């Protein structure tokens, strides 16, 4: 099946989104609390790139995006109400609400690397 200019443009867009998203995730992981927005945005970009590029890692990236979103929302809400533990009045076990952020972040990083490698291997001749 011959490739059209539309599919080439879509592949190029997917490739750029995956690489930019991976870079955003890596920068955000330097400080996971302050960089949570960058990690969320980077995961979203890689998921969009995986969708556009029809990557076999699409579902991994979709689930990663959902988990990171839930974890970041819990992190930001907890931060807005004063955090957990200590004198905040919220017990330490509330910190378990942040687990989806960590799991989704690792899943997203693995998925982003795999999706980016897959996108780069599909380079047209």
Q: Rounded CA gap, 26 and 18, in Å? A: 12
The per-residue pLDDT for 121 is: 81
The per-residue pLDDT for 68 is: 96
What's the sign of the alpha-carbon dihedral 60, 64, 65, 67? positive
Of 27, 63, 71, 26, the closest CA to residue 47 belongs to 63
Q: Are 52 and 17 in contact (CB under 8 A)?
A: yes
The per-residue pLDDT for 5 is: 64
The per-residue pLDDT for 102 is: 93
Q: Topology of 5-121 in CATH?
A: 1.20.120
**Domain parsing of the chain, residue ranges:** 5-121
Instruction: Render each residue's pLDDT in the chain as its tens digit; 125 residues.
Output: 455 665 677 788 888 999 999 999 999 999 988 999 999 999 999 999 999 988 899 999 999 999 999 999 999 988 888 777 777 777 778 888 889 999 999 999 999 999 888 877 876 54
The per-residue pLDDT for 125 is: 47
Cβ density class 19-37: b for 16+ within 10 Å, e for less? bbbbebbbebbeebeebbe
The per-residue pLDDT for 123 is: 62
Q: Are 86 and 59 in contact (CB under 8 A)?
A: no
């Amino acid at each position: 099946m011959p490739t059209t200019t539309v599919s080439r443009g879509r592949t190029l867009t997917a490739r750029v989104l995956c690489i930019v998203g991976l870079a955003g995730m890596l920068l955000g992981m330097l400080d996971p609390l302050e960089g949570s927005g960058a990690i969320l945005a980077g995961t979203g970009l890689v998921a969009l790139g995986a969708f556009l590029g029809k990557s076999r890692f699409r579902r991994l990236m979709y689930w990663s995006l959902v988990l990171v979103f839930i974890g970041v929302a819990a992190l930001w809400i907890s931060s807005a109400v004063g955090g957990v533990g200590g004198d905040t009045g919220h017990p330490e076990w509330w910190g378990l609400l942040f687990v989806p952020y960590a799991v989704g972040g690792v899943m997203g990083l693995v998925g982003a690397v795999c999706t980016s490698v897959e996108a780069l291997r599909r380079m047209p001749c």
